[in-house]
Amino acid sequence: MALSVKHLLGINELTEKDIDLIFATADNFKQVLKRDIKKVPALRDTTVANIFFENSTRTRLSFELAEKRLGADVVNFSASGSSVSKGETLIDTVNNILAMKVDMVVMRHSASGAPWFLSQNIDACVINAGDGINQHPTQALLDAFSIREKLGSVKGRRVAIIGDIMHSRVALSNIYCLTKLGAEVVVAGPPTLIPKHIASLGVRVEYDIRKALEWCEVANVLRIQLERMHKPLFSTLREYATYYGINKKLLDGISNDIVVMHPGPINRGVELNSDVADGERSVILQQVENGVAIRMAVIYLLSGKRDPSIQSARPAHLQ
Ligand code: CP
């Protein structure tokens, strides 16, 4: 059983069966990660380059750990401190890395579409680790996997994606992933941070945060991305926190039990207060933990390698 894609560029390119296969494979890798020796030798003849043209903590470490847990050789590249500052082009940079016999490239870039451009110009497999305001496919997969783990399923679940939808690659990938898996999705936030035609993606728009929270089972709270706002889209952070910030007092006043998620990094006291981020409703660190298993699954499946011990543990319908 293999994925229907050669690269992972965006969730919209995956089928529901692809996502099921990634989840079933990640289930197996979660078991591996609970062992004393948290490694399998499946990719011991594979070299992966992590090339990050934009800052990252979670995604970069998670990919590196996933690759090492699979036994791959890993090289890391950051644009800062590299020859990019001397004017080297993206293709020249990547071709020089590939000349060192690299099989797979994990890429983060501030330009939307950069991983797609790369996939058209090199032979190696490309995995998108976040491109501009476009997509962050492995984040959406780990988010949906975490919902499935916490609530038993994704199908039919009511998920609110709250905050800066306009500038969020996490929002777009989550919308594609959750709707593909049969969840109901509401996007909520100030009108200036919600794209005008977003309802065409099969989601409902809600500007009243309390109403969104009263409706949902899962609230995925997104970071306010000030670095991508080139003009003011709300008055002050304090005003944003007052009208759209999620805090314990607000959630305590709502009758339903809500699972709170955030992809990180968190602006504490703005979109999410510490009394929720560190509270019992939060699964934020479980999301990070699941990220390693999900990325192991994506890398393993895209590598085309077949390890019988990983394969045989899959449910029969995915064999
Ligand atoms: N969630 C996420 O992409 O975090 P980083 O920017 O730290 O990788």
Q: In this predicted model, what pLDDT tens digit does every residue of 7-58 receive, in sequence order?
A: 999 999 999 999 999 999 999 999 999 999 999 999 999 999 999 999 999 9
- The answer to whether the beta carbons of residues 284 and 244 sit under 8 Å apart is no
Question: Which strand ranges, in their side-by-side order, compose the sheet holding 125-131?
Answer: 73-78, 47-52, 104-109, 125-131
Residues 6+ apart with CB under 8 A from 280: none
**Ligand 1 atom, smallest distance to 62 CA:** 8
Beta strands at 158-162 and 204-206: parallel, antiparallel or unpaired:
unpaired
The CATH class for the domain spanning 11-134+287-309 reads alpha beta
Q: Is the pLDDT of residue 89 over 70?
A: yes
Q: Is the pLDDT of residue 311 over 80?
A: no
How far, in Å, from the CA of 172 to the mean position of ligand 1? Answer: 15
Confidence at residue 226, expressed as pLDDT on a 0 to 100 scale: 83
Confidence at residue 312, expressed as pLDDT on a 0 to 100 scale: 54
252 burial (CB, 10 Å; 0-12 / 13-18 / 19+) is exposed
Q: How many helices (H) and strands (E) does the chain have?
A: 12, 9
Q: How many other CB atoms are found less than 10 A from the CB of residue 263? A: 27
Provide the pLDDT confidence category of residue 104 given band limits of 50, 70 and 90.
very high
Instruction: Domain 137-284: give its CATH code.
Output: 3.40.50.1370
Dmax of the chain from CA atoms? 59
Confidence at residue 136, expressed as pLDDT on a 0 to 100 scale: 98
How far, in Å, from the CA of 315 to the mean position of ligand 1? Answer: 31
**Ligand 1 atom, smallest distance to 54 CA:** 6
The per-residue pLDDT of the chain, averaged, comes to: 95
Q: Helix %, strand %, coil % for the chain, to 5?
A: 45, 15, 40
Residues 6+ apart with CB under 8 A from 276: 246, 247, 248, 251, 260, 282
Which amino acid makes up residue 233?
A: L
DSSP bridge pairs for 74: 48
Supply the pTM of this predicted model. Answer: 0.95
Question: Which strand ranges, in their side-by-side order, compose the sheet holding 259-261?
Answer: 204-206, 184-188, 158-162, 218-221, 259-261
Best residue among 57, 284, 295 to mutate for probing ligand 1, ranked by most atoms within 8 Å of CB: 57
Confidence at residue 235, expressed as pLDDT on a 0 to 100 scale: 85
- The answer to whether the beta carbons of residues 129 and 135 sit under 8 Å apart is no
Say if ligand 1 is within 6 A of residue 182 CB.
no
How far, in Å, from the CA of 164 to the mean position of ligand 1? Answer: 15
Confidence at residue 315, expressed as pLDDT on a 0 to 100 scale: 57
Say if ligand 1 is within 6 A of residue 225 CB.
no
Mean pLDDT, rounded, for 292-302: 98
Best residue among 59, 108, 133 to mutate for probing ligand 1, ranked by most atoms within 8 Å of CB: 59
**Among residues of the chain, what percentage have pLDDT more than 90?**
88
Spell out the domain ranges in the chain.
11-134+287-309, 137-284
Confidence at residue 29, expressed as pLDDT on a 0 to 100 scale: 98
Beta strand spans in 65-191 (E): 73-78, 104-109, 125-131, 158-162, 184-188
Confidence at residue 1, expressed as pLDDT on a 0 to 100 scale: 81
**Ligand 1 atom, smallest distance to 264 CA:** 1
